[in-house]
Structures are given as C-alpha cells and as structure tokens.
Amino acid sequence: MTRLTIFSLDTVVRYSETNLRKLLFQLISEREEISLETDPAPEIRNFQVLLNHIYQKEIKKELGEELLHTYHKAFKKAVKKNYLDDEDAFEVRPGVQSLFGQMEKEKKWKFGITSDLWEDATQFLLQSCGVFSKDKLTICAETAPDRNAQMEILASRAQKKDQGLKIFVVCLNGEKPELSKEFKVIRPKASDKESNYYVYPKFNELFKLKKKNKKSRSK
C-alpha cells in the first residue's frame, strides 16, 4: 500500500499570507491605477482565483493569458525582493527537512505539497528555505482552484494500479480538509509562546509508527 502525505505550503514554510497578498495588490494597483488598500476578497486564498476575482469584480476587465503570465513573473520578482529585504520573511518549519529525507528513503511513502501561490513563487519560497527535493509532488494555484481540489490531484497521481492508498493530510490548527478518499489528519505541535510556530517530531513519532526491529545477525 502506498502512503501519501500531503503538506500545504504553510505547513512546510512559515510566512505571512497577509504580506504576500499585499504584494499582489500593490502590483495590481500599479498596473491598473486603482486603489486596493483593503483586501477585496479575504475568503479567497488561491492567488489565481483571487486575481481573476479582482479583475472581474473590481476592474471589470478580462484577464488574458498574456497578462496572467506577466503577473506570474512580476509576483515572483516581488516575492524575491521581499526576501532580499527581509531574510526572516520565510522560514522552514523545524523538522520538515528531516521528514522529507526520511520519506525519500521509504519505498512505499510519497509526499506532496499544495500551494495557494503560483508555481514560480512557490518554488522560490521552498528553495529559499532549503527545500530542493525532486521526489515531492507539487500542485499550485494555476493547476487547481483550492486546496481540496489540489489534494484530489495529488491523490490521483500517487495512486498506483491494483494498490491501496493511505492518505495523511498535514494541517495547522483549525483547518478542516475535505477529500473524496479516506484520510487521516496529522498536526505538528504548535508553540504556546509564539504564534504560527510549529515543530515536527521525528518520522516515526509523527505517524505513530512502531520502529522496525533489527534482524539479529546469524552467528
């Protein structure tokens, strides 16, 4: 049986979603010469859906593929500048890299990341925090409109013919994921002293797995 663990980007990297949204609003304001001082759609987390919503509802203008591509590049550039100005803007969650390394050693384990940001910006955040794994599956804003849809894609890609699939979804406090397949929620430990700070235990502890007994060597 294949075991798939699904992380969202904010369970891998600590960052301010509010600040990243402000970067996008600033790009839109500069390009379209409008004021976006307040968040026009705080309930929309996916940046692709958010940008489309703003152009349809606020600007009353069609967002074509060429313009969308321009925003992809401009947003990544803005995120990179944000990181250069403040190296503490993005921080890998303690214990994540150890978990990924262990999963890559396990034949039956796979892991993936869902992201509300576009692919270019997502990869920049991950790489700036030292996450370079080629074995991870990554589904971003341009591929599916929300995290639940992204998780469905990850599950379908991880599923092998004639084999079962056990799914673990890593969530921060308060999140309630939905999937058409059965899954188990895993939550890293939150800090009592600092907000938005989570620490991952060791692989076996997180998934409550029994350690494998070493085979005794024959005399």
Integer Cα distance of 25 and 28 in angstroms:
5
Integer Cα distance of 169 and 188 in angstroms:
11
- Closest Cα partner for 201 from 102, 80, 115? 102
Q: Helix, strand or coil for residue 146?
A: coil
Domain ranges of the chain: 2-15+92-206, 17-88
Percent of the chain with pLDDT over 90: 84
Q: What is the mean pLDDT of residues 55-80?
A: 96
Integer Cα distance of 159 and 2 in angstroms:
7
CATH topology of domain 2-15+92-206: Rossmann fold (3.40.50)
Q: DSSP E strands: which ranges in the chain?
A: 2-8, 13-14, 91-92, 109-114, 137-139, 165-170, 183-186, 189-190, 198-199
Mean pLDDT of the chain: 92
Q: Residues 106-155: pLDDT tens digits? A: 989 999 999 999 999 999 999 999 998 777 899 999 999 999 999 999 99
Q: What is the mean pLDDT of residues 86-108?
A: 93
pLDDT at 159 over 50: yes
Quote the pLDDT of residue 136.
Answer: 84
- Closest Cα partner for 65 from 56, 52, 54, 77? 52
CB-CB neighbours of 62 under 10 Å: 9
Q: What is the mean pLDDT of residues 13-32?
A: 96
